[in-house]
Amino acid sequence: MSVLAGPDTEVLRAAITWAQQSIDVILVTVARTWGSAPRPVGSLAAISINGQIAGSVSGGCIEDDLVMKICHTGKTITSPETVSYGVTTEEAREFGLPCGGRLVLVLEKLTGTETTRHILEQIANRRQIVRQLCLKTGTVTLLPVQPDTQPLHWDEQKIEKLFGPVWRLLIIGAGQLSQYVAQIALTLDYQVIVCDPRQEYLSSWQIPGIQLESQMPDDAVTALANDKYSAVIALTHDPKLDDMALMTALDSEAFYVGALGSRRTNNSRRKRLTTLGISETGIARLHGPIGLPIGSHTPPEIAVAIMAELTAERHGVQLTSKNHAP
């Protein structure tokens, strides 16, 4: 089985690997953005003193400039510092920042790997943790998450970044549509798991980088996709399998639960789930028909519609009412 790591995990792993080889590593964090910045606040990259890079803080041009500053100017970063890009129109044009985009980066030299390893352990255990960097001393402190913790906080004294579990998508069913959904989800940095107890479907799976499971769908939801960083979509067209997954998922903390089928099919599904003891609150959480109404008909188009709706839900975007055909 192959399990993908999220962007932060990949950056931290690379930083540890380089540090173990006695290679100096600079961590770069997007602290603030204005306009249409290419990467959001909190984006992370690691740059080794010999020019290797993991992660991204822009579309590529800024990374090239950072490598030049870090590796080829002879300047040594000993304490945290900030660097701004896109302050002028000329600079924005030079670095490919769109629509007046601007960003501020915090650069720091990685000292030791113990705290970084602990962050990776927390992520692997699907827990959150805050990494606080003192901008005056370079001291790194790990803090527990509080109710008002933001993904990133930056001021003159410190920068605090929230690290948490990789976003996970559990797909029930290994059919053709699932393969298109999985491909798109991978590009959106999801860890994708496909569950199908029907061996004839699972054995024909062709998309690499996916964790495959043959257990029953309800067991898969309980074991793999029951927290608020997880989404569950049922795509088998087999009510016995789909309903098993949905019963468990609708009673979990999964941020998105959806099922394939027409409005009529999903109305029947809701009635079945109600008779099986699912509450009105749980039923209301079900996205069915699944996906945004973009006129999709082919499997690739339906996959786009599904992942678009899932993305909106993940980011808390309120969508207008959906006008699906019955």
Cis peptide before 40 (omega within 30 of 0): no
User: pLDDT of 312-324, one tens digit each?
Assistant: 999 899 876 554 4
**3-class SS shares of the chain: helix, strand, coil, % to 5:** 35, 25, 40
User: pLDDT of 161-206, one tens digit each?
Assistant: 999 999 999 999 999 999 999 999 999 989 999 999 999 999 999 9
Average pLDDT over residues 5-22: 92
User: What are the structural domain ranges in the chain?
Assistant: 7-163, 168-314
3-state secondary structure of 167: coil
In this prediction, residue 71 carries a pLDDT of 87
Phi/psi class of residue 313: alpha, beta or left (left: φ > 0; alpha: ψ in -120 to 50)?
Answer: alpha
**What pTM was computed for the model?**
0.81
Pick the CATH number of 168-314 from 2.60.40.1930, 3.40.50.1820, 3.40.50.720, 3.40.190.10: 3.40.50.720
**CB-based contact 128:140 (threshold 8 Å):** no
Please state, rounded to an integer, the average pLDDT across all residues of the chain: 90
